[in-house]
Amino acid sequence: MAEELHHHTHIEGTTIFDGEMAMKGYALNKMCFSFNRADAREEYLSDPEAYYQKFKLSDEQKQACRDKNVLAMIAAGGNIYYLAKFAGIFKLDVQDVGAQQTGMTKDEFKEKLRKAGD
Amino acid sequence: MARIIGGLTTSHIPAVGNAIHKGLQDDPYWEPFFRAYPPIRDWLGRHKPDVAINIYNDHGLGFFLDKMPTFAIGAAHEYVNEDEGWGIPQLDPFPGDPRLSWHIIESMVADEFDITSCQELPVDHGFVVPMQLFWPGAPHNADMPRTVPISANTVQHPIPTLGRALKFGRALRKAILSWPDDIKVVVLGTGGLSHQLDGERAGFINREFDRYCMDKIVDDPDELTSIGRMELVEKAGAQGTEFLMWMMMRGALGAKVVARSTNYHIPISNTGAGTMLLECTE
């Protein structure tokens, strides 16, 4: 895409979820949106590969899901509000997700949050 | 005629819903957050508003990316707190006020705000956690007001500007004040303050910026409209853009307000948590 069509500035460590990312991540986010339903969560857990296929995930998206790699899911177009529903299936909360993305232990990440208040 | 008696702001973090469910209000981690609410509940108990306009942002329950309204207004008899996927306890439906909703929608569109009207709108933690905080036991609180939910898009860019949010609130004020019934209205602006859940910058919190926003929103919200959207992402974090809801709320309160109660605490979950009671003087 031509540079002038980008509507945002670069912010370190931050992916702006805009139209471009929304197009890229549509299948992945649609799958995650389905996890609002308990029966969908069960269907996913009984056969994850079939569930990826059902929503036509790209190879990149499938691998990111298999690895439960949040940064890779974001790079593949995942939107954090929908990815949170994926993480929830595995009982991962926003501190688990934060720790994984920043390469910290959960305790280290929680300490980083606490220190923001000092 | 309808009167707007004040505005309430609060973060709407899902972990707060869990803490309420588990009765952790006096736990050392949670107490500095929950201490903000009894004075506001006392004020609500004295004034007993008939209607709460709840301005929040949906997080992927009521709307998906297939159709993403920039501004949506509920026009339902009740609002159901549906399963949002990761297991916070669901509450019973909240009573709506659809005649008032349609009046607001009519007035907003006449004022050139192009609204998405919703006769069904499942509501998530962004809507219900503030209700629980201000009206314990919600929706089964004897003083539970009827509600009109308003959701603004912060899921996907382009999001509205802070200036547009403030103007939205001002148009909302005009809509409410032209309602003929003799009712008292409070306006909730929920979400924020600074936080970022995604990316290598996850865990970003900016106390200085949050404090600046909480200060300016009282007497000079127009100054905040000079903050661009990307600047807002940079200074408040990717999800700190929820501050838009506070601006919409503030626009509905009129020119002069008095801050009756203010609390700020870091961290609650991944967030700088701000709570305010702004009383209208007009």
In a mutational test of the A interface, the residue from B86, B264, B269 whose CB has the highest number of chain A CBs within 10 Å is B86
B contacts of A87 (beta carbons < 8 Å)? 86
CA-CA-CA-CA torsion for B159, B163, B167, B169, nearest 10 degrees? 70
Residue A89 CA to residue A73 CA, distance in Å, equals: 15
How many beta carbons lie within 10 A of that of residue B66, not counting itself? 9
Interval A11-45: pLDDT, tens: 999 999 999 999 999 999 999 999 999 999 999 99
B207 in contact with chain A, both atoms CB, cutoff 8 A: yes
Indicate the number of domains in chain B: 1
Reported as half-sphere exposure (CB side, CA atoms, 13 A), residue B102 has a value of: 5
Amino acid (one-letter) located at B22: K
- Paired sense of beta strands B116-118 and B71-74, if any: parallel
Q: Compute the nearest-CA separation of A20 from chain B (Å).
A: 10
Q: What is the CATH code for A18-115? A: 1.10.700.10
Please give the interface size between A and B, counted as residue pairs whose CB atoms are below 8 Å apart: 135
The catalytic residue positions of B are: 125, 195
CB-CB contact of B93 with B56 (8 Å):
no
Residue B36's domain comprises 3-280
By Cβ distance, the residue of A79, A83, A117 closest to B267 is A117
Cα angle: A40, vertex A43, A49; to 5 degrees: 115
CB-CB contact of B248 with B165 (8 Å):
yes
In a mutational test of the B interface, the residue from A41, A81, A106, A107 whose CB has the highest number of chain B CBs within 10 Å is A81
Q: Hey, which residues 15-74 in chain A have their CB within 8 Å of chain B?
A: 15-19, 22, 26, 29-30, 32-33, 35-38, 41, 70-71, 74
Averages of pLDDT over each 10 residues, chain B, 282 residues: 97 92 95 97 98 98 98 98 88 98 98 97 97 97 98 97 98 98 98 96 97 98 97 97 98 98 96 97 84
Q: Which helix (DSSP H) or strand (DSSP E) does residue B221 occupy?
A: helix B221-224
3-state class (DSSP) for residue B209: helix
Domain boundaries, chain A: 18-115
CATH code (residue B162): 3.40.830.10
B90 in contact with chain A, both atoms CB, cutoff 8 A: no
CB-CB contact of A29 with A82 (8 Å):
yes
Residue A3 has pLDDT above 60, yes or no: no
Q: Which residue has the tokens 């609204």?
A: B115
Q: Which residue has the tokens 């588990």?
A: B22
Average pLDDT over residues A77-92: 95
Tokens of A57: 């995930």
Helices in A13-79 by DSSP H: which ranges?
19-24, 26-34, 38-46, 48-54, 59-66, 70-75
- Paired sense of beta strands B94-95 and B71-74, if any: unpaired
Q: Hey, are the CB atoms on B85 and A84 less than 8 Å from each other?
A: yes
For B234, the closest chain A residue by CA position comes to: A11
CB-CB contact of B18 with B111 (8 Å):
no
Q: What is the ipTM of this complex?
A: 0.95
3-state class (DSSP) for residue B95: strand
pLDDT band at A86 (very low <50, low <70, confident <90, very high): very high
Interval B227-248: pLDDT, tens: 999 999 999 999 999 999 999 9
Q: Compute the nearest-CA separation of B126 from chain A (Å).
A: 12
Q: Compute the nearest-CA separation of B143 from chain A (Å).
A: 31
Tokens of B125: 């933690």
